[in-house]
Structure 1
Amino acid sequence: MALNHDDKEKAFNEIETKNSERPVKNVCVITGGGSGMGLATAKVMGESHYIIISGRTVSKLEHAIDELKLMGIEAEAFPCDVSKREDVVALAHRAMAIGDVEVVIHAAGMSPTMADAQKIMAVNALGTIHVNEIFYDVMSEGGCLIDVSSMSAYFMPKAILPMKAFKLSRVDKKLFMAKMMKRVNLFPKKMRSQIAYGMSKAFVVWYAKTDAGKFGERHLRVLSISPGSFETPMGDAEKDNLQEYIESSALKRLGDVEEIAFLMAACADKRAGYLTGVDILCDGGCVASGVGSIKAKLS
């Protein structure tokens, strides 16, 4: 569902009432920008863009803004729970009021230790739908939207994925969520958060790829990036599960957030203007090792 007429009219009225003497800013919106990969990317993108970071935890956003401003980066924070459509609409309105929305990096997400399966699916899958649908209408021509998935998407056997449910995401979100959770609930209770995480991230990869044609109609790009194991607060929460991945990876280490931030900035750059409809796996060679299959955990 796109922005309705009233939403669009409100957004455009905000732009028209801006101070006409203020130069138009090139805006980069980063969901989940209060820490980790999102904050690291804000530091890179802040060299050329006005930054709006969003997230659910206000205190985390405030600390991130202080850090960005110490670096001389123009930035502001906007509280937003991407699982709530109205929050994402408000975020989009704010971004449009500031200037041309050139880049959106959707890094907000929840890992298996952060919530139950229902909440993980709502934030990771439904949140991605909200961000893509709403920012499609407000981004400036030539812009790029990057959805952040996870290498966990590659660990999900295709037989487990409810592909018919994926397709419902564009026609009936309530039924989409019901079908996704019905599949998750087939698994043992202790595995459901992990299954919801992997399934939701596989959906993100599918959704970004299948959105490319639509985005192309407005001369926009959309792609996904699937990080592996990185030194982040979310990674710290999952550290007990990471050792096997680190030992099996080609590089035998965790990634630095600066490495993924550089990749995101490079993909968003207009000089990479032919790049769309693809997932980029950045995992230090972990998936290539064959480690981490859900099938193996079930056997």
Structure 2
Amino acid sequence: MTTVSVITGAGGMGVPTARNLRSDNHIVLFDNSQERLDAAVADLGGAESGDRTVTAVLGDVTDRTAVDGLFATATGIGPIASVVHTAGVSPSMGAAEFVTRINALGTVNVAEALLALDSGAIADGAAIVNVASMAAHLVPAELIPEKLFPGALTDPEGFITALLEVYSPFPAEAHSGFAYAVSKGFVKWYSWAQAERFTAAGIRIVSVSPGSVDTEMGRLEAESGAGALVEGANIPRWGTAQEMADLFTYCVSDKAGYLTGTDILNDGGVVASMRARAADAAR
């Protein structure tokens, strides 16, 4: 039986993840750029090369109808074995509302569309990995408005409005960066808070929080502080897209069959270093 791995985001981390998973699954790539999709398929050797094929689907994660269409295409090929949700944007790529919609509501749309599938469309041992960020670990917990997060599932527009109000007291130039941290904090929250719902459907759910990764999007943030964070890390270099892809691949594999409802921080020790230095300074 052909099983399917759905990967959102045909960029830096999505392509090596697809390459890892392709030997065992038909890959369905989802992105809002036809150019990126075409490049990804070519990078993977073409749609028909190798043991499995690749299907590219054009669409936006903020459009639930498009996401439902993605899963209709995927389940028409075979049961879903895994979903790796890498699609997202960084602070340099847009205003606070745009960042929040893509990162937070995009996660809701992808995960909830998966959860809405009939049980026969889900392979045994299925799993979803949502990509969060170390940024969610760097912001003080009291600034992450978790009490507002359930609203994303019941009133998406009200959720966006409420978060924009949370951002408003901060300087305008900080809104996108703060929105990024909060929206990735939402991804972390969703991946543990909804774990029981996914367990009931036979799906494991995990989030992974990468640090500074050497991708086109990651390098956009080099001048806004990410470069300095890398230099101060326990492992003072940028992470690679392949390192992240290997972790995502492990998380959706049978080897991680006991792993669900948690976040994995994969940041080269940035957060650990910052916490240790803060603790030393407070003594």
TM-score (norm. length: structure 2)? 0.91
2:229 and 2:105 map into 1 onto residues whose CA distance is 28
Q: Is the 8 A contact 1:150 1:225 kept in 2?
A: yes
Q: Deviations over 1:81-123 (max 9, x none)?
A: 1011111111111111111111000100010011111111000
**2:281 matched residue in structure 1:** none
Contact 1:69/1:75 (8 A) holds in 2: no
Q: Give the counterpart letter for 1:214 in structure 2.
A: R
Partner of 1:62: 38
* 1:12 counterpart residue number: none
Q: What percentage of residue pairs aligned between the two structures are identical?
A: 36
Whether the 8 Å CA contact 1:30–1:53 is kept in 2: the answer is yes
The aligned counterpart of 1:296 is none
1:193/1:265 CA distance change after superposition, 3 Å: same
Distance 2:147 2:247 in 1: 32
Q: 1:113 aligns with which of 74, 92, 98?
A: 92
Question: 1:18 corresponds to which residue?
Answer: none
Match of 1:134 in 2: 113
Q: Deviations over 1:29-75 (max 9, x none)?
A: 0001x220111111101121111111111111101101112562521
Does residue 272 (structure 1) correspond to residue 249 (structure 2)? The answer is no
Unaligned runs of 5+ in 1: 1-23, 292-299
* 2:102 aligned residue: 123
Which AA in structure 2 matches 1:227? P
Shift of 1:235: 1.1
CA contact (8 A) 2:146 2:189 kept: no
SS at match of 2:179: helix
Does residue 6 of structure 2 align to residue 29 of structure 1?
yes
Counterpart-to-counterpart distance in 1, 2:139 and 2:188: 12
Q: Find out whether 1:82 has 2:82 as its counterpart.
A: no
Cα distance in 2 between the residues matched to 1:185 and 1:83: 23
Distance 1:158 1:258 in 2: 30
Alignment match, 1:285? 269
Shift of 1:169: 2.0
CA contact (8 A) 1:31 1:108 kept: yes
1:159-203 Cα offsets, whole Å, 9 max, x none, are 212122112223222211111111112211100000110000001
Deviates more, 1:64-73 or 1:51-60: 64-73
Moved more, 52-61 or 232-241: 232-241
- Corresponding residue for residue 171 of structure 1: 154
The residue number in structure 1 matching 2:179 is: 196
User: 2:237 — aligned with what?
Assistant: 253
Give the C-alpha shift of residue 158 in structure 1: 1.7
2:76 to 97, 113, 123: 97
* Secondary structure at 1:105 match in 2: strand
Aligned residues: 268
Contact 1:141 1:218 in 2 (8 A): no
Q: In structure 2, what is the Cα distance between the partners aligned to 1:224 and 1:206?
A: 9
Following TM superposition, by how much is the alpha carbon of 1:271 offset from its aligned partner in structure 2, in angstroms? 2.5
CA distance in 1: counterparts of 2:239 and 2:23, whole angstroms: 22
Equivalent of 1:208 in 191, 194, 207: 191
Conservation of the 8 A alpha-carbon contact between 1:41 and 1:262? yes
Look up the equivalent residue of 2:72 and give its one-letter code. Answer: H
1:237 matched to 2:216: no
